Amino acid sequence: MMMKKASILTLLLIASLSVLAQEPNGDAIIGKWLNPSGEDQIWIYKVGNKYFGKLGWIKVPDENGHPKMDKNNPDPALRTRPDLNLELLKDFTFDGKTYEDGTIYDPKSGKTYSCKMTLTGNTLKIRGYIGISLFGRTEVWTRVK
């Protein structure tokens, strides 16, 4: 009887460990991503339990012999900061399936949108929206190898 209980307990332990091992890893998003035009690389990283992304590489980093600046920012005080290393993705949490509750900043328009991201292999679906995700736009980024 004691051996039977020990065997059942061992099987339950093994089953629970295999379920935990199959849970998605939120850190899989960390790395370098190329936007659809191929002009920018966004470097995604983690701080605490949240995910962020900065503009780590720009195909054409200069404009008229000077670094491209965040000239469309609604805050005039921020218009002189360079686009390179600009934080575009902020405060994403991983719910086991998607990265949500974050924002994405578009330096071309100077606007910030609510955003959610879904990772599938080496592609990252980015959905920026205002209000609800039904009203938004989706881009697909690819992982830089």
50-74, pLDDT tens digit by residue?
999 999 999 999 999 999 999 999 9
As a whole number, mean pLDDT of residues 85-93 equals 98
| Mean pLDDT (the chain, rounded) | 87
- What was the pLDDT predicted at 117? 98
* Domain residue limits, the chain: 25-143
Closest CA to 103 of 83, 129, 81: 129
* Residue-level pLDDT at 133: 81
Q: How do residues 27-42 score in pLDDT, each as one tens digit?
A: 999 999 999 999 999 9
R_g over Cα of the chain: 21
**Residue 54 forms beta bridges with which residues?**
43, 87
For residues 143 and 125, give the distance between their C-alpha atoms in angstroms, rounded to a whole number: 11
Distance of CA 82 to the CA centre of its chain: 21
The two beta strands, 50-58 and 40-47, are antiparallel
Q: Is the pTM of this model over 0.75?
A: yes
User: In this structure, what token pair is assigned to residue 138?
Assistant: 């989706």
pLDDT at 52: 98
Asked if 115 and 137 touch (Cβ cutoff 8 Å), the reply is no
pLDDT in the model for residue 65: 92
Q: How many other β-carbons are positioned within 10 Å of the β-carbon of residue 41?
A: 19
Annotation: CATH topology of 25-143:
Lipocalin (2.40.128)
The CA-atom distances, in angstroms, between 25 and each of 21, 52, 116, 119, 121 are: 9, 16, 17, 11, 12
